[in-house]
Chain A
Amino acid sequence: MTTTVGPSEIRRAMAAIRITPGSVVREASDVPRKIWHGISALANFSEEELAIATTPKQEIYRDDMIRLYRYLPTVEHDLGIPVLIVYALVGRYQMIDLEQDRSFVRKLLDAGLTVYMVDWGLPTRAQRWTTIDDYVSGYLDDCVDVVRTHEGVDTINLLGICQGGVISTCYAALFPDKLATLTLAITPLDFHGDAGCPQPGTAYMNQWARGLTGEDIDRYIAAHGNVAGDSVGLSFLMMDPVANAGKYTVDLLSILDDDRKLLNFLHMERWLADRPSTPGEVARQWLKDLYQDNKLVKNELVLGGRTVDLRNITMPVLNVYAEGDVVVPNSTTRGVGPRLGTSDYTELGVPGGHIGTFVGGKAQRVLGPEIIDWLKARNGAQQ
């Protein structure tokens, strides 16, 4: 830390503080009112109001803990080529359908897209040995085949989000013939992309993983089996512990008298509380092969005996990044176009942070329409 503070700076800082006894009393007297309102609101919200991911859908396939859903259409016409959404393993798919008025899924449906969703479910100790390859070449490939059969098409649009984007990228490289397009959102691809531009507050997970040895990770998996959802949640909290402490205190206090914002907060908490465990072998590969050895962009990642070669990704690719993402910094996701085999590569920046991409108002105004337009242009060209 190189910040130095001299007497003149202290004088200037003190000049900025204009807190009067009146403002203290005003703010202090406001606190009990907010708390009482908040207590009443928290107790009175109905389960219907608290429900998340309410867009109607139908389960069409299941295997182990995996479920494949087809969302019910909201308009008559459809584009013909369905979209299969693949969310991360470390969180539940409900994030992209969190609230009715800001649901990414509803936007796609309203635009006439046929939307499917993979729900990775809640892995238990029985999934201790499940590998990334089992997800890519097993579960996801089965889901893609079910969608192709169900819709009577040879190829589909795959949309991978965050960790699901990595799974989708691997799938696109191994099964390119089954995909019409690949859309990636807030997806880490170059796991060492942050190394050249270290910035406190970003890419903590990348640095943390590189600070461990391969043996540390092996022993961690041996000790814990799976990485518990609670542990994953804690690791996200520790990326920004002070801001998270503020979220549950000062920030919460400031919204206690605003039912709409309080409900938003509770929806997010409901999603956060439902964090799945990550199968041990997946975590081992994820931390060692990707975070530590960065094998994906080097075309060295081997899944089920087959090398994931990004040059096999020849379908059109849309890569969406969040401009303020500190979990997946732009340096780890942007600029991968030349590494892919496709000549149709597009990058799209949306305002906000990692999660804000799918729940933030500003991002929602950009994300849905842009993806829909991009898909329509590509799907139209292929039909």
Chain B
Amino acid sequence: MLTTSVDRALQFAEGYLPKFGQTHANSLQTGVDRAFGALADALGLATTRTMFDNVRALAEAEYEWQLALAGYLGVAGSAVGNAPRLAVARLAEVSKKGETIDSPLGLLRVWTLALGQATHSAMQSGDGIAASARLVRATTEHQLRLENLIALAADAVGLVTRCDLDEAYREIHLLKRQMRSLRRDRATNAAPAKRKRASANGSAIATREQA
């Protein structure tokens, strides 16, 4: 995982490098892939090549995640910039009412209220909502690519992947839903039994089939 703070800082710095290097790398890789891809697959390197593609995709997702996080923190930082003005305005209001702040904790509370107000305004602004959405997208993309990579590795050694499990769960879920529907149909067709108050302190726990 490229998530140490040093790596993050380096990756963020790389965001300012010219893009032509990446473009050339991509072109070279595409060319090699087109020329020798089939041969590599025939030699049993298909999984390795796919893994490499996924590692690259994960790195790209990590890069985008760093940018999205920086954007999000930038919005949060703008709130810190606005908070002092709001704090002064709040203190002026206190003074106008003839009240005073005579405790450090009281002053700290004025500051946190001002910072909270500034944070709300920043995070619920157009920029704040957009930065938040970008961060969700980037986090999701990173997770998906990481899962792809792990699934590929698991598949290569014959282990069950999360997708396999999810599909099994889906089948079970659909079967349960059909069972419930059949049970309802059976209950509807059966003669309606008169409701009778059950014992309030009965010890048996009903299950779905008994209910």
Q: Which residues of A contact B (CB under 8 A)?
A: 1, 3-5, 9-10, 12-20, 23-24, 27-28, 58-63, 70, 73, 125-126, 128-130, 134, 138, 142, 145-146, 148-154, 198, 200-201, 204, 207-208, 210-212, 216, 219-220, 222-225, 238, 240-243, 245-246, 250, 254
Contact = CB atoms under 8 A, between A and B. Distances in A.
Contact of A70 (B96, B137, B144, B200): B200
B123 A10 contact: no
B136 A216 contact: yes
B99 interface: yes
A152 B112 contact: no
A67 to B, nearest CB: 9
Nearest to B209: A63
B86 A19 contact: no
Contacts of B156: none
Given A129-B169, A142-B211, A225-B166, A4 B85 contact: yes
Interface string B111-122: 010011111111
B182 to A, nearest CB: 13
A151 B197 contact: yes
Contacts of A134: 177
Contacts, number: 178
B56 interface: no
Contact of B88 (A13, A58, A130): A13
29 contacts: A1-B118, A3-B85, A10-B92, A13-B87, A15-B95, A16-B91, A18-B102, A19-B101, A60-B206, A63-B207, A128-B166, A138-B180, A146-B211, A148-B195, A149-B195, A149-B196, A152-B196, A153-B195, A154-B195, A204-B120, A207-B129, A210-B129, A219-B137, A219-B140, A219-B144, A220-B140, A225-B162, A225-B166, A242-B112
Contacts of A200: 117, 120-121, 124
A67 B210 CA distance: 14
Contacts of B173: 128-130
B121 A1 contact: yes
Interface in B181-208: 195-198, 200-202, 205-208
Task: Kindly name the residue among B86, B87, B95, B100 whose own CB sees the greatest number of chain A CB atoms within 10 A.
Answer: B95
A150 B162 CA distance: 41
A110 B26 CA distance: 73
B28 interface: no
A240 B119 CA distance: 8
B195 A216 contact: no
A163 B109 CA distance: 32
Nearest to B174: A129
Contacts of B103: 19, 23, 27
Contact of A17 (B107, B120, B123, B205): B107
Contacts of A146: 206, 211
A125 B165 contact: yes
* Nearest 10 Cβ contacts at the A-B interface: A152-B197, A13-B91, A242-B116, A211-B129, A200-B120, A16-B95, A18-B100, A223-B143, A129-B173, A201-B120
B132 interface: yes
Task: Kindly name the residue among A23, A129, A134, A222 whose own CB sees the greatest number of chain B CB atoms within 10 A.
Answer: A129
B169 A128 contact: yes
Given A61-B208, A145-B211, 19 more contacts: A3-B82, A13-B95, A16-B101, A17-B101, A19-B103, A28-B104, A61-B211, A125-B165, A126-B172, A129-B170, A148-B195, A149-B195, A152-B196, A200-B120, A207-B124, A223-B143, A224-B143, A241-B119, A250-B112
Contacts of B200: 70, 73
A220 B133 CA distance: 11
Nearest to A126: B169
Nearest to A221: B140
Contacts of B89: 3, 5, 9, 13
A191 B29 CA distance: 49
A279 B86 CA distance: 41
Given A149-B198, A149-B211, A17 B85 contact: no
Contacts of A152: 195-198
B105 interface: yes
B136 A220 contact: yes
Nearest to B115: A242
A220 to B, nearest CB: 5
Nearest to A14: B91
B130 interface: yes
A228 to B, nearest CB: 11
B92 A16 contact: yes
A125 B123 CA distance: 32
B100 to A, nearest CB: 4
A20 B102 contact: yes
A149 B197 CA distance: 7
B108 A250 contact: yes
Contact of A223 (B88, B147, B180, B196): B147
B104 A27 contact: yes
Nearest to A211: B129
A343 to B, nearest CB: 28
A114 to B, nearest CB: 8
Contacts of A216: 133, 136-137, 140
Contacts of A3: 82, 85-86, 89
A27 B124 CA distance: 36
A9 B133 contact: no
Contacts of A201: 116-117, 120, 124
